Amino acid sequence: MSIKPVKVALIGSGNISYTYLNTLVNGGFHIVDVVGCSDLIPERSKARAELFGIRQMTNEEILNDPEIEIVINTTQLWNHTAVTRQILEAGKNAYSEKAMGDTYEGAKANYDLAASKGLRFGCAPDCYMGSAFQTARKLLDDGAIGKPLIAHAMCYRGYYSHMAADDPADPKMGSQGTTITYDMAGYYMNILVNMLGAVNRVSGFTRFYDDRVYGNPRHPRYKSPVDAEIGGQPRGDSMLLGSLEFENGCYGSLTLCSEGFFPETPRMEILGTEGILTLPDPNFFGGWDNQVYLTRAGNVDGNKNQVFKMPLTHGFSDTDPSVPALSGKREPCHNSWRGLAVVDMAYAIRRNRPHRSSPELALHTVEVLDAISKSCKDNKVYTMQSRPVRPAPLEPGFFRGVGEAAIDNI
Positions touching ligand NAD (CB under 6 A) are: 11-16, 38-41, 44, 59, 74-77, 79, 83, 97, 183, 332-333
| Whole-angstrom distance, CA of residue 127 vs CA of residue 145 | 22
Rounded least distance, CB 75 to ligand NAD, Å: 4
| Whole-angstrom distance, CA of residue 210 vs CA of residue 199 | 31
| Whole-angstrom distance, CA of residue 122 vs CA of residue 117 | 14
Rounded least distance, CB 39 to ligand NAD, Å: 4
Residue type, 307: V
CB 312 within 8 A of CB 287: yes
| Whole-angstrom distance, CA of residue 106 vs CA of residue 121 | 14
Q: Which is nearer to ligand NAD, 70 or 333 (CB)?
A: 333
Of 352, 363, 405, the residue nearest 388 (C-alpha): 363
Rounded least distance, CB 179 to ligand NAD, Å: 11
Of 71, 105, 76, the residue nearest 89 (C-alpha): 71
Rounded least distance, CB 97 to ligand NAD, Å: 4
Rounded least distance, CB 124 to ligand NAD, Å: 6
Backbone angles phi, psi at 92, to 5 degrees: -105, 150
Secondary structure of 252-268 in HEC code, one letter for each residue:
EEEEEECCCCCCCEEEE
Q: Which is nearer to ligand NAD, 40 or 392 (CB)?
A: 40
Q: Which is nearer to ligand NAD, 79 or 373 (CB)?
A: 79
CB 65 within 8 A of CB 35: yes
Backbone angles phi, psi at 133, to 5 degrees: -85, -25
Q: Which is nearer to ligand NAD, 39 or 65 (CB)?
A: 39
Rounded least distance, CB 212 to ligand NAD, Å: 21
Rounded least distance, CB 165 to ligand NAD, Å: 14
Rounded least distance, CB 272 to ligand NAD, Å: 30
Residue nearest to ligand NAD (CB): 14
Q: Which is nearer to ligand NAD, 12 or 315 (CB)?
A: 12
Q: Which is nearer to ligand NAD, 21 or 195 (CB)?
A: 21
Q: Which is nearer to ligand NAD, 127 or 250 (CB)?
A: 127
E strand map for 157-264: 199-207, 229-230, 233-234, 239-246, 251-257
How buried is residue 233: exposed, middle or buried, by Cβ count under 10 Å (0-12/13-18/19+)?
middle
Q: Which is nearer to ligand NAD, 41 or 389 (CB)?
A: 41
CB 47 within 8 A of CB 108: no
CB 268 within 8 A of CB 286: no
Crossing angle between the packed helical segments 180-196 and 359-378, to the nearest 10 degrees = 120
